[in-house]
């Protein structure tokens, strides 16, 4: 009797393994809208190369963190509280605004707005006043970034009846427990901020990013001034540009110099002098150039030049 053989179809080679999940960080970066923010940063802010690089590093860290979450890799809420130190007018508030936009685009804050406050917005003048004030500010800032300028004024150990410590304790609690919904940036002079952190170690342990803002150089300040004028449809004449460069060199050596802020104030006064000069002219209608060009005389009338001349005359 012939044997009946059962045939089993040859299954052939096994199918190739499914490709491992992957993520394209560059595509994520482009889709997030961050390139627009960094392009604006480069266009609007002169210099600050190390700080711009640090912001890009933070953005890269957050992109990687977000990619890890997609694959279920264990991650905790990142600590994003920051300290910005430097002299006035070095761009701290502007960078805080950009940081809020970056965090919002990456989904780390819900709203991406910036709330800027000082001690007076947080600390009350009598018992029971500080906690409601501080909590109201935190409520407004929730979902965004809280920027506390001159943060060291919160701590006044020489005054036994000062209520700043109460605000500090509330802030520390929120910075720890609500760090997935609020980023706090403390700002001020570097030496005073260092003393503040020494006196309040709870802040230092909660602040992950310490960023120092250097003073601008003379060439950078001139560039800042010309950009400020261009934004208002003004420009410096060639002679005025030379004189304004001299003004910056002199003003930087004087007290209370505030970098870009001082430049803006100087140009506002130059515009006032230009307007007065044009109003007093009696030689016919004004042209577009008349209305848009700042002349050397509009800058030379500054007290900075007068004070320098007086100092030179008084010198032996």
pLDDT, tens digit, for every residue of 9-30? 666 667 666 565 788 888 888 8
38, two tokens: 């960094």
Cα distances (Å, whole numbers) of residue 34 to 103, 208, 252: 10, 22, 35
Closest CA to 252 of 226, 220, 217, 224: 217
pLDDT at 135: 95
**Which pairing describes strands 82-86 and 114-117: parallel, antiparallel, or unpaired?**
unpaired
Phi, psi for 89 (deg, rounded to 5) = 75, 15
CA distance 305 to 140: 45
Residue 286 pLDDT > 60:
yes
Counting other chains too, the contacts that 28-34 makes at CB distance below 8 Å and 24 or more residues apart are: 28/63, 28/66, 28/67, 29/59, 29/63, 32/63, 32/105, 32/106, 33/105, 34/59, 34/102, 34/105, 34/106
Assigned architecture for domain 218-314 = Orthogonal Bundle (1.10)
Closest CA to 248 of 234, 266, 235, 233: 266
DSSP line for 133-152 = HHHHHHHHHTTSEEEEETGG
pLDDT at 19: 60
Residue 5 pLDDT > 70:
no
Least confident stretch, 109-113, 221-225, 303-307? 303-307
pLDDT at 12: 64
> What value does the mean pLDDT of the chain take?
88
Closest CA to 86 of 265, 197, 216: 216
pLDDT at 9: 64
Higher pLDDT, 249 or 65: 249
Residue 228 pLDDT > 80:
yes
Confirm whether 29-213 and 218-314 share one CATH topology: no
What is the rounded average pLDDT of the residues 165-185?
92
CA distance 138 to 130: 12
In this structure, the number of other CB atoms found within 10 A of the CB of residue 101 comes to 21
282, two tokens: 């009696």
Confidence band, pLDDT 50/70/90 cuts, at residue 4: low
HSE-CB at 26 with a 13 A cutoff on CA atoms is 0
Mention every residue, 6+ apart, whose C-beta is less than 8 A from residue 193.
Answer: 83, 85, 151, 152, 186, 187
Residue 73 pLDDT > 90:
no
223, two tokens: 């560039």
CA distance 292 to 289: 5
CA distance 183 to 143: 8
Q: What residue spans define the domains of the chain?
A: 29-213, 218-314
Q: Identify the DSSP state of 125.
A: S
What is the rounded average pLDDT of the residues 233-260?
95
CATH 1.10.10.10 fits 29-213, yes or no: no
Confidence band, pLDDT 50/70/90 cuts, at residue 313: very low
Q: Do 104 and 111 meet the contact criterion of CB atoms below 8 Å apart?
A: yes
């Amino acid at each position: 009797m012939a044997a009946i053989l059962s045939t089993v179809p040859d299954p052939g080679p096994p199918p190739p393994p499914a490709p491992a999940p992957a993520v394209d960080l560059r595509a994520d970066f482009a889709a997030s809208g961050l390139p627009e923010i960094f392009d604006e940063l480069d266009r609007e802010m002169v210099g600050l190369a190390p700080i711009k690089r640090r912001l890009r590093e933070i953005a890269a860290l957050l992109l990687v963190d977000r990619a890890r979450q997609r694959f279920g890799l264990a991650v905790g809420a990142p600590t994003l509280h920051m300290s910005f130190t430097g002299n006035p007018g070095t761009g701290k508030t502007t960078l805080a605004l950009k940081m809020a936009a970056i965090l919002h685009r990456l989904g780390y804050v819900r709203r991406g707005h910036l709330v800027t406050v000082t001690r007076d917005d947080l600390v009350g003048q009598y018992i029971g006043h500080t906690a409601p004030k501080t909590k109201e500010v935190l409520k407004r800032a929730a979902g965004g970034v809280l920027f506390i300028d001159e943060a060291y004024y919160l701590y006044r150990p020489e005054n036994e009846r000062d209520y700043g410590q109460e605000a500090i304790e509330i802030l520390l609690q929120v910075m720890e427990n609500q760090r997935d919904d609020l980023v706090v940036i403390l700002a001020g002079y570097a030496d005073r901020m260092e003393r503040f952190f020494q006196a309040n170690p709870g802040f230092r342990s909660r602040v992950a990013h310490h960023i120092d803002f250097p003073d601008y150089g003379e060439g950078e300040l001139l560039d800042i001034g010309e950009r400020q004028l261009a934004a208002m449809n003004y420009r410096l004449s060639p002679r005025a540009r030379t004189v304004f460069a001299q003004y910056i060199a002199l003003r930087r050596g004087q007290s209370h110099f505030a970098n870009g802020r001082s430049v803006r104030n100087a140009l506002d006064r130059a515009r006032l002098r230009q307007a007065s000069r044009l109003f007093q002219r009696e030689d016919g209608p004004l042209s577009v150039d008349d209305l848009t060009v700042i002349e050397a005389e509009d800058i030379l009338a500054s007290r900075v030049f007068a004070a320098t001349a007086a100092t030179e005359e008084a010198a032996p």
